[in-house]
Amino acid sequence: MIEENIIRQVLQTVLHPKLKKSLIDIGMIRNISTQGDVVTLTLALKNDRSPLRKVFIDEIEKAVTAVPGVSAVTVQVATLSQEEAEKLFPKAPLRGIAKVKQFLAIASGKGGVGKTTIAVNVALALVKQGYSVGLLDADVYGPSVPVMLALSNAMEQQGNMIVPREKYGLRIMSLGMTAGQNDAFIWRGPLVSKMIHQLLDQVNWGELDYLVIDLPPGTGDPSITIAQALPHCAILMVTTPQEVALADVRRSISLFNKTGHPIVGLVENMSYFLCAHSTQPIDIFGRGGGEKLSKESDIPLLGAIPLDLEVRQGGDSGVPLMVSAPDSATGAIFLTIARQVADRLPSCQ
């Protein structure tokens, strides 16, 4: 009868080329059993398409069939659990964000709801409260942060790291600073993920209390990449009152619920318009959408931003509202939103 401990001993020679440890010791070979002259075992890989699959199986068969009395070996292939894979093959830390304490992504399933306006002004509101803040424009398809902050295209580089631009107390990085304002960005899925990783890894953000990330609309590659790269990133959802926006935001909420990312709150943008000739708000896009979504999703509504002429002017001129009119009524709303975010974030880590 073939003894299992002998099989284990010979399998010590089958090493992982990167880890330099035997597959048996790190748990990639498991469930060893013998029946007569046949040995059966399980080889656990990161995925069943691993380029090392055939190499490992060949080495296992060679080592085991060399044992006297063994006529055959059956290798069953399984997949490591996510926890096992992360423990064995931890991802290299992203250098650029190594000193960032908190991450806040501004998201929405809907385009045109004003995510960038919210991202810029919430980031500036956090600066007003004494925090060190960075702003990453992760909208690789239509980066608009440089327009809203009147930034030129030039970027500086020190060594192999990009230095973010600084303005209004923010450290800022956007792909819109790397090409002409009217140039199109044409990306396929893998390139999107690679570029966002570079914006996190190769930009020297330095020590920050918060890195605010302006995501593009939808639930595609950019959002998924951020979710995978920053498992502790908190999410601030943006909507407008009308139902067509709420439907798309629900999909985005579902994505981040599935990835386990905490959603710190909801902001309703373009909530109402105050006309100079009346004291009554005009509900151009309907009323109560944000409150409705807040109740059904159990996500707190942190603020409702009106259609404010100064907000629009600030976005066009490169001088955001939180710089030009921080003491205005709308500025006070942004400060309240930022204060609530800061209060909620520590509990999300």
Helices 309-317 and 115-128 pack at an angle, to 10 degrees, of 90
Quick one: 55 and 82 in the same domain?
Answer: yes
Supply the range of the domain harboring residue 45. 4-88
Using 50, 70 and 90 to split pLDDT, how confident is the model at 8?
A: very high
Quick one: 151 and 267 in the same domain?
Answer: yes
pLDDT at position 16 over 80: yes
- CATH code of residue 20: 3.30.300.130
pLDDT, tens digit, for every residue of 55-71?
999 999 999 999 999 99
CB-based burial label for 8 (10 Å; 0-12, 13-18, 19+): middle
Using 50, 70 and 90 to split pLDDT, how confident is the model at 142?
A: low
pLDDT, tens digit, for every residue of 238-288?
988 776 677 788 888 888 888 888 999 999 888 766 665 666 666 666 566
Mean pLDDT over 14-25 rounds to 92
**Statement: the pTM of the whole predicted model exceeds 0.85:** no
Quick one: 108 and 244 in the same domain?
Answer: yes
Quick one: 43 and 166 in the same domain?
Answer: no
Domain boundary among 39, 68, 88: 88
Quick one: 43 and 103 in the same domain?
Answer: no
- CATH code of residue 196: 3.40.50.300
Using 50, 70 and 90 to split pLDDT, how confident is the model at 349?
A: very low
What proportion of the chain, given as a percentage, has pLDDT over 70? 86
Half-sphere exposure of 225 (CA within 13 A, CB side): 23
Domain boundary among 59, 88, 117: 88
How many domains does the chain divide into? Answer: 2
DSSP 8-state symbol, 280: S
Computed over every residue of the chain, the mean pLDDT equals 84
Domain boundary among 88, 123, 154: 88
Quick one: 75 and 150 in the same domain?
Answer: no
